[in-house]
Structure 1
Amino acid sequence: MMAMQYSFVLPADYDMEIITRRIRDKGHLLNGFPHLRFKAYLFADRKDGDIGAQDNLYAPFYLWDAPEGADQFLTGPGFEAVSRDFGRPSVETWIGWHAELDRDLSQARYASREIRPIAPDCDLQALRARSAEGARNALKDNDAIACLTAFDPTSWNTLRFCLWQSPPERGSEDTQLYRVGYVALP
C-alpha cells in the first residue's frame, strides 16, 4: 500500500471555482483506475471558514494498492494534463502502514492530513502499532469515514490521513484541513 499527494499553492485571489469545476468535470475519470483504492480530490479555499485555510490549495491525495498504479498514473495523460496546467509538482509518497476504509468514501466532504517527524530513537514497530490503533479509534470515536497511516523513510515522518463527513477539529499545528470535491473509487 502506498499513499501519494501533490499540492499546488494558488494565488490568494485565485478563483477557486476553477478548481471545483475541474474536479466536477474530471473527477470521475479515475474511477476504476488500476491499483487505486481511492483518490480524494482535495482543495482549500482561504475564504472557507469551516477549515481555516491559510492558502488556496489544490492537493489531490491517493491511496494505491501497489506502486504500479502510481507509476501508471504519473506517466499517463491525466498527470500530464495537471502538469501542463499547473506545473509539474513534487510528489510526496509514503509507505502504507494501516488503512481503515469501512464506510462509504463517496460521503466524504472534508479531509485532514497530519505529518509528524519520527524521532531517531523511535521504535518503529511500536509506532506502527500505535498509529494503526489511532486509525481504528478515529473511525470508532471521532466519526471519521476513513483513516490511514503511513511513513516516509526518506524524511522520517509519519502521515495520518482521514476523510470526514463533517468538519473535523484541527488537532495540532501539523494538521492541514481540506474540502473534498470528489472521491474516485475502484
Structure 2
Amino acid sequence: MFAKHYSHRLPAHYDMGLIRRRASELGPRWDDTPGLLFKAFIARERGVFGALANQYASVYLWSEPAAAGAFLMDERFQTVIDSFGRPEIEAWLALDVQWGDAAEARALYREHVQVEPEADRAALLAAQIEQSQVIRGREDTVAVLLALDTANWRLVRITLSSALPDRNRAREAYEVLYLARPGAEVLGHE
C-alpha cells in the first residue's frame, strides 16, 4: 500500500465555501477509482476548530502504487494543478490500516513520531501499531493509518474520526469535506 498527502495554503479571506462545493462536486467521482482504498478531501478554515490559516488538502491510501502514479500523470491531477498550482507531495509507505466502527468521517488528525537513528525500529513499530489498535477501539474512529515517511524517517498516523475536529487531540486537525472509500471492502470494511 502507498499513501500520500498534499496541501494548498489559501489566502486569509478565501471563500472556503468554494472549497466545500469543490469537494462535494469532485468527491463522488472518486467513489469507483480502481486501486484506491480511500481519499479524504480535507480543509482547515482560519479561526474554526483552532486553525490559524485556510488550507485545502487531500490524503490518499492506494492499494496499488501504479494507480497512484497514473493519477498524478493524468487529467484528474491536472485539474488540481490548474486550480492551485503543483504541490509538493508527501509520499509514505503504509504499514498498518485498521477500520473502526464509526461510519461518517468528520475530522482527520495527523500525528508524527520521529524514528531516531538509535531506535529499535521493530519495537517502535509494534508499539505504534498497538497505539493504533487503541485508537481503532474508540467509538468515533472511522479508520487509522500508520505509514512510514522514508524521506524524513518518521511514522505518520492518520486518524479519521466521526467527531468534529478538536485541535487539542492532535497538532494537525482537519475537517473532512468528503471521504471516498472505493476499496474499503479490501480492508474488510464497507
Using structure 2 for the length normalisation, give the TM-score.
0.90
Confirm whether residue 71 of structure 1 aligns to residue 69 of structure 2.
Answer: yes
Cα separation, 1, equivalents of 2:3 and 2:16 = 25
Q: Hey, what does 1:41 align to over in structure 2? A: 41
> Which digits, 9 at most, give the CA deviation of each residue in 1:123-143, with x for residues without a partner?
111111111111111021463
Moved more, 95-104 or 159-168: 95-104
> Which digits, 9 at most, give the CA deviation of each residue in 1:109-164, with x for residues without a partner?
11101123221111111111111111111021463211110111221111000001
Q: Hey, what does 1:95 align to over in structure 2? A: 93
Moved over 6 A (4+): none
Letter paired with 1:110: A
2:55 to 54, 57, 61: 57
Cα 1:5/1:97, change in 2 over 3 Å: same
Q: Hey, what does 2:118 align to over in structure 1? A: 121
Cα separation, 2, equivalents of 1:104 and 1:171 = 20
Q: Hey, what does 1:175 align to over in structure 2? A: 171
Letter paired with 1:177: A
Q: Hey, what does 2:145 align to over in structure 1? A: 148
Structure 2: 5+ residue runs without aligned partners? Answer: 183-190
Matched residue count: 182
Q: Secondary structure at 1:88's aligned position in 2?
A: coil
2:128 to 128, 131, 145: 131
| Contact 1:143-1:164 at 8 Å conserved across structures | yes
